[in-house]
Structure 1
Amino acid sequence: MYIADVLIEHPVNPLDRPFSYLCELPISKGIRVKVPFAAQSLVGYVESVAETTLSEEELEEENGYPLKWISEIIDEKPLLNSELMQVADYLSKITLSPKISCLSVMLPVQFKPSSKNGVGKKYERYVQAVDRDDLKLTPKQKACHDYLRELRRPIRLKEVPYSAAILKKLAEMKAVDILDVEVYRNHYLDIKEKEGWPQLTLPQQKAVEGITNELKHKVCLLYGVTGSGKTEVYLQAARKVLSQQKTVMMLVPEIALTPMMVTRFKERFGPAVAVLHSRLSQGEKYDEYRRILKHEVKIVVGARSAIFAPLENIGLIIMDEEHDQSYKQDSAPRYHTRDIARFRAEYHRCPLVLASATPSIETYARAKKGTYELFELKKRINNQPMPNVTIVDMAKEVSAKNYSLFSRTMRQRLQECIDQHHQAILLLNRRGYSNYLQCKDCGHVVKCPHCDVTLTYHKDEHVMKCHYCDYTTAPVTTCPNCHSRAIYPVGYGTQKVEEMIQKEFRNAKVIRMDVDTTRKKGAHEHLLKAFEKQEANILLGTQMIAKGLDFANVTFVGVLNADQTLNLPDFRANERTFQLLCQVSGRSGRGENMGNVVIQTYNPDHYAIQSASQHNYLAFYQKEIQYRYYGNYPPYCRMVSLEIRGKDEIIVKDRSQQIAVYLKNNATHATVLGPAPSLIYRMNDYYRYRILIKYKNGEGLINALNTIHQHYNRERKEKVTVMIDFNPYTQI
């Protein structure tokens, strides 16, 4: 008899411990089992198994209660290998999250403990001839049988060029075998492999050799301007790693970038590539994950969660656009992909490549210091020039009585681009039709009833939405405050801009790409392929179009409002603005024709905007690193954010003040800022206060945070919860 310690499926802090169950046979760590828990039957992971010589009665006497038996063993083999179980322990430790939530975030939904969605293997009917000469067949039957015999392999039933009636009769005569063969669902069947490898430039060659010559643990920064050929470095580095019988993990920050990266890798490595991202169907995810488990693939390409793929013998991990905030998980467990990538690279003793045209300040500082190895691609492929950038001061446009969203320069350049049969990309980082609805008579703004934010009007669906809690309602026609009917939309969203472009520009054909147009499976690929085929001459979208896209016919990029990210109350606001402007500018002029960019702003002299217009990362870095130094921000310190939330406003405020006092008394080497109301004070009916902590030595702080976490989250002794976020990427 054996005792198994099982983590049950509820990812709540009070149940964050293993529960003991009996089993007749030894089972492996990481296997899923069904167990009775209270009055329920739950699924959990086996944490450990130990043999016992005690009887059930003796165990009951020892524990004070009878141990129950495992009711079902779900898996033959563990879904998570020993390394990934260690990753779960590490993730739980660095995020103060329940271990079961860490295990769950590592698996596709089909494999998560409570998953009972019925997705399983897919089978297709195949037919194969049986070698027999004693058959009496009609001419047509004989022709069919001879055809199948000559193939000497099974063939899909629907591909046989003979009728179903003939095949049925042959099966009855046992002249053929009908087989159910498992087939994988493949979302990328139309990608054809290409032969040959491009000649690398000298800087590319140095980067590939520097990364792969010695496959030992190191962190490298590949810093290359937009269009400098970073992707080719990834591909040829992967080729060298595969030649040493190792595997490769290729990460991109957003699903929008996945199709293009998948295409590049599938063209070079074909079926050796598996793809993991959230827009695959459940069946496709299930199949891709099992292909990895069966060691049928050598490369995994995917977004953030792909870092948890059960890939073994890893020889290289690459993070494209390493600076991107999409790599940070904003719900529990709040991890940064870079931390997990570093852990796995150290485990496999392999290189981790962080790559970007606009590296994060922290990453570039480590490269400058020598902590990371630095490889640079300073010029575009074939010495193509960087695009010309024009900054338009929108205050001067208003002075000139131009109140349009489009400056005169923007309007002229965009129309010229269309007239020359080129393509353009327009960036507006706000989806929806308008920012909000407002009453002309009293000034009342329509807000979400659950959050302290305005509702965004979406004209195509004729609804108002909260982009924080997903509350949706019909547009109001009468002011709730003064009952006036003078309600009108204020501001611009991508839907409204699309409408304006089609009205105001000759021969404009627009593809809009934002969260609303890319909800459906395959929408990203469909829209990007349509633009690639030049079915439209303008790609309008939010920040998802700003990076990674490579279209030779794009000669113009327009940024409609560069100040949107600049004005956020966040110490990374300048950095994010610079990165966004550089990345989107880099989409222009990647083909034979010169690229042009127009940036509209009310802050034309700001160093982030000026540096971006000159494609000068070093100038921006030198300014920004001074600001970080004097303000004591990363990389000169580490940060933790505490969000105290609850439904009773007075209790939330009181407990926030108590927590701040406790931290100031017990985390003596840290700077505690706050508490203060969160930028969005009420979200989804929860009041929220925030405390920010800056520290260098976290020893005393970690103990204090663990005490707070134990009291408020695990023991639940208060009417508030405390969200603890290390290395926070949002201040809302």
Structure 2
Amino acid sequence: MYIVSVLVEHPVQSLDMTFDYLSHESLLKGVRVFVRFGYQKIIGYVEDVKETALSKTELEQQAGFHYQYIQEVIDQEPLLNEELQQLALQLSKLTLSPRIACLQAMLPSQLKPSTNHSVGLKLQTVACFLQEGKAKTKKQQECLDYLKTHSPTPIKDIPYSKNILDQLVKQGLIEYQKQEVYRKPLDFFQTTNQDIILTNDQQKVVDGIIAHPKRVALLHGVTGSGKTEVYLALARYFLNKQKSVMMLVPEISLTPMMVKVFKERFGEQVAILHSRLSQGEKYDEYRRIKRQEVKIVVGARSAVFAPLENIGLIILDEEHDASYKQESKPRYLTSQIAKIRAQTHQATVVLGSATPSLESYSRALKGVYDLYELKNRINQMPLPTVEIVDMVNETRQRNYSLFSRRMKEQIQATIDRHEQVILLLNKRGYATYLQCQDCGEVVKCPHCDVTLTYHKDEHQLKCHYCEYVQSYPQSCAHCGSTHFKTVGYGTQKIEEELEKTFLNAKVIRYDVDTTKNKNSHFQLLEQFKKQKANILLGTQMIAKGLDFENVTFVGVLNADLSLNVPDFRASERTFQLLCQVAGRSGRGSKAGTVLIQTYNPEHYAITCASHHDYQAFYQQEMLYRQKALYPPYCHMVSILIQSKHEDILQIACQDIKNYLLAHTHQCKILGPAHSVIYKMQDLYRQRILIKFVQGKDVYEALKTMNDFYNKKQKGKVTVICDFNPYSQI
């Protein structure tokens, strides 16, 4: 008899404990099982197994409760290796998240401890040669001879009819079998195996990183300096050392481009992991990695949990990107997980960016990271010239268009030269909101404290926070008027304006709305690469990693969108976004230009970006961070308190602040204050911000407070502790 400790599938704090069941057979730690939990049959995850000599009756008398048996064992072997099981436990403690939530974050949907997913193996029918023999007809004999040297072969690939194959089966000369086949995403790239040729600067970086293994290296290279070639060279070095490689990118949109580069160089050794794969593809790719059939994993944030063995190199491209922060449980920072895994495997971590985060760059200057720099573009072409247009002056000149006069000139001239344009507007949809012309009422989300964005394609209003959708209103809910006007603009409206305004304009819009379908990221970028369009219009998705030789002009339509966000990182994000998108221009043999439209032409984030001057921005921003005590000069924790009832929320917020003041020292506690979006998904929200340099008592106080509200006070108030917060929404 065995006592099996099981974590149940519900990722809530109140159930963050093991429940004991009985089994007649010993089970492996880390497998999934079906158990009876209350009136439900659900999936659990085996945490521990202990043998006992006592009977079921004796155990029940001793424990004082009724034991149930494990109903079914799902897996024959553990889903996660010992390293990842320990990492899940560590991640749970680091983020104050339920252990089951951490396990679920590590696994594809089909393998998560959850009853809601079921995708199995993909099987195909193959024909297998059995024995020599004389077939009845000449065609049948030809088919048999073919299978003698091509067995087993999928029947769909055999150049003979199904009827001929059926006759050979009846004669006992061949047989049909079911064979597993992998669903391989983006499996149409040709392996070139071409040599990786490096410049002297790139070779110095590669040699330096190889000479100092088991370290974190920050690669600061200007846009177009060839960071990807450095990644490829390092990957080849570690593969030759029989080590595996993890290549992470921040955006799903960048994954196909990086997959293409790595597949062309390393072929079948590459697996892909990101959220846009089909459920079956994720399942198969995960099993290929776990079976050690691949040596390289390319993917977005969650790929950091790939079950690779013997890791030698972990690369985070565009390391500064906020997409590397998980904004739902468990709220982890990808670079932190990468460093933990690297420490376990004695691996090298490379953080690459043209605009490193201030935290990373300051660590590099202090010697915590090794710093490597690529200061020149690989083709020795200069960085593009950047021009700033003050939109206040445009308005004074009575130009109320979305495009400045200079922007119109540059776009049309680029099209006329048969070159290509990239336009950035970091706001999707058609209009920011819909307003009644008679009473001024704005159409808002009923569940969130935000306006609904108008999407003209579907003629719908959408909330970008809770996914609420409603059709275009027939009349105003406030006054009954039927007269509405759209206010503001998004990528849909700009697309419409471009096609109206510019002669021969062919536009590809690249945002969340146009890239919903599988492989649509890759297909749209391929169309633009083949010059089937001359303008690529998009949100921040187009700002990173794209490399098109014929793009000679980049325009930024509203540089102030990210600058006016109430977040201490607003200036940094604006600078990074502008530098990154500017770097898409002039990457080939033709010189590039950039035009930035702004209402804040003197802001240092914009002026520094216009000069590609990271050092000047770093010095200026660090002064503000130091004066206001923000990272990297302190650590931060954001506590989000939520409730369906405002009065309960107010009391809880004050209680939490009083508790923190009494149980923490040498901390600065700000708030409670309304979140940027006070109501979201029918929950009222407030935040408390904690800043500390040395705060040994902070974690324990937060853990106690977190357990109290999420276990004992479950349902009234929820509390979310976000370490190293990247969003204050």
Do the structures match in fold with TM over 0.5? yes
Report the CA distance between 1:116 and its aligned residue. 4.9
AA in 2 matched with 1:82? E
AA in 2 matched with 1:51? E
AA in 2 matched with 1:677? H
AA in 2 matched with 1:322? E
Aligned to 1:415: 412
Aligned to 1:180: 178
More displaced stretch, 578-587 vs 44-53 = 44-53
Distance in 1, Cα, partners of 2:150 & 2:582: 56
Aligned to 2:109: 109
| TM-superposition CA deviations, 1:121-165 (whole Å, max 9, x none) | 1122221333324x352222222222222x253222122222221
Report the CA distance between 1:29 and its aligned residue. 1.2
Aligned partner (choices 690, 704, 709) of residue 706 of structure 2: 709
Distance in 2, Cα, partners of 1:73 & 1:352: 38
More displaced stretch, 454-463 vs 155-164 = 155-164
AA in 2 matched with 1:664? L
Aligned to 2:519: 522
SS at match of 1:485: coil
Does the 8 Å CA contact 2:127/2:176 hold for their aligned counterparts? yes
Superposition map of 1:606-685 within 5 A: 606-685=603-682
More displaced stretch, 189-198 vs 123-132 = 123-132
Aligned to 1:44: 44
| TM-superposition CA deviations, 1:518-568 (whole Å, max 9, x none) | 111111111111111111110101000110000111111000000000011
Aligned to 2:687: 690
CA change 1:406–1:656 in 2 (3 A) is same
Aligned partner (choices 151, 157, 160) of residue 159 of structure 1: 157
Aligned to 2:556: 559
SS at match of 2:481: coil
Is the counterpart of residue 198 in structure 1 residue 196 in structure 2? yes
SS at match of 1:416: helix
Distance in 1, Cα, partners of 2:473 & 2:38: 48
AA in 2 matched with 1:3? I
Superposition map of 1:304-315 within 5 A: 304-315=301-312
Report the CA distance between 1:477 and its aligned residue. 4.1
More displaced stretch, 137-146 vs 277-286 = 137-146
Aligned to 1:365: 362
Aligned partner (choices 415, 421, 426) of residue 424 of structure 1: 421
AA in 1 matched with 2:147? L
Aligned partner (choices 368, 371, 382) of residue 385 of structure 1: 382
Distance in 2, Cα, partners of 1:351 & 1:525: 30
Report the CA distance between 1:706 and its aligned residue. 1.2
Aligned to 2:602: 605
Does the 8 Å CA contact 1:247/1:313 hold for their aligned counterparts? yes
SS at match of 1:374: strand
Aligned to 2:248: 251
AA in 1 matched with 2:144? H
Aligned to 1:298: 295
Distance in 1, Cα, partners of 2:350 & 2:164: 58
Aligned to 1:222: 219
| TM-superposition CA deviations, 1:228-271 (whole Å, max 9, x none) | 00000111100000001110000000100000000000000001
SS at match of 1:640: strand
AA in 2 matched with 1:266? K
Does the 8 Å CA contact 2:665/2:695 hold for their aligned counterparts? no
Aligned to 1:60: 60
Distance in 1, Cα, partners of 2:137 & 2:641: 81
Distance in 2, Cα, partners of 1:273 & 1:654: 53
AA in 2 matched with 1:105? A
CA change 1:350–1:5 in 2 (3 A) is same
Does the 8 Å CA contact 1:559/1:600 hold for their aligned counterparts? yes
| TM-superposition CA deviations, 1:473-516 (whole Å, max 9, x none) | 11224333333333100111100000000000000000001111
Distance in 1, Cα, partners of 2:145 & 2:470: 66
Aligned to 2:17: 17
Aligned partner (choices 331, 334, 350) of residue 328 of structure 2: 331
Distance in 2, Cα, partners of 1:450 & 1:210: 53
AA in 2 matched with 1:287? D
Report the CA distance between 1:344 and its aligned residue. 0.4
Report the CA distance between 1:54 and its aligned residue. 1.7
AA in 2 matched with 1:292? I
Report the CA distance between 1:179 and its aligned residue. 2.2
Does the 8 Å CA contact 2:196/2:232 hold for their aligned counterparts? no
Aligned to 1:592: 589
Name stretches of at least 5 consecutive residues in structure 2 with no aligned partner: none
Superposition map of 1:401-412 within 5 A: 401-412=398-409
Distance in 2, Cα, partners of 1:646 & 1:723: 12
Report the CA distance between 1:469 and its aligned residue. 1.1
| TM-superposition CA deviations, 1:630-658 (whole Å, max 9, x none) | 11000000101111111111111121112
Does the 8 Å CA contact 2:223/2:580 hold for their aligned counterparts? yes
Report the CA distance between 1:718 and its aligned residue. 6.8
SS at match of 1:659: helix
Superposition map of 1:120-135 within 5 A: 120-133=120-133, 135=134
Distance in 2, Cα, partners of 1:470 & 1:717: 26
Is the counterpart of residue 489 in structure 1 residue 498 in structure 2? no
Does the 8 Å CA contact 2:183/2:284 hold for their aligned counterparts? yes
Is the counterpart of residue 81 in structure 1 residue 81 in structure 2? yes
Distance in 2, Cα, partners of 1:665 & 1:489: 50
Report the CA distance between 1:214 and its aligned residue. 4.8
Distance in 1, Cα, partners of 2:122 & 2:359: 46
TM-score, with normalisation over the residues of structure 2?
0.98
TM-score, with normalisation over the residues of structure 1?
0.98
Name stretches of at least 5 consecutive residues in structure 1 with no aligned partner: none
Does the 8 Å CA contact 1:669/1:700 hold for their aligned counterparts? no
Does the 8 Å CA contact 1:109/1:115 hold for their aligned counterparts? no
SS at match of 1:563: coil
Distance in 1, Cα, partners of 2:693 & 2:376: 37
Does the 8 Å CA contact 2:135/2:168 hold for their aligned counterparts? no
Aligned to 2:145: 146
Distance in 1, Cα, partners of 2:12 & 2:116: 20
Distance in 1, Cα, partners of 2:10 & 2:150: 52
CA change 1:124–1:360 in 2 (3 A) is same
Distance in 1, Cα, partners of 2:480 & 2:173: 81
Does the 8 Å CA contact 1:212/1:241 hold for their aligned counterparts? no
More displaced stretch, 693-702 vs 571-580 = 693-702
More displaced stretch, 223-232 vs 58-67 = 58-67
Distance in 2, Cα, partners of 1:684 & 1:117: 25
Question: How many residues align structurally?
Answer: 729
AA in 2 matched with 1:458? H
Aligned to 1:437: 434
SS at match of 1:256: helix
Aligned to 1:69: 69
Aligned to 1:341: 338
Distance in 2, Cα, partners of 1:20 & 1:115: 19
Aligned-residue CA RMSD (Å):
1.2
Report the CA distance between 1:423 and its aligned residue. 0.7
Distance in 2, Cα, partners of 1:23 & 1:108: 27
SS at match of 1:502: helix
More displaced stretch, 159-168 vs 556-565 = 159-168
Does the 8 Å CA contact 2:110/2:119 hold for their aligned counterparts? yes
Structure 1 stretches of at least 4 aligned residues deviating more than 6 Å after TM superposition: none
AA in 1 matched with 2:452? L
SS at match of 2:688: strand
Aligned to 1:580: 577
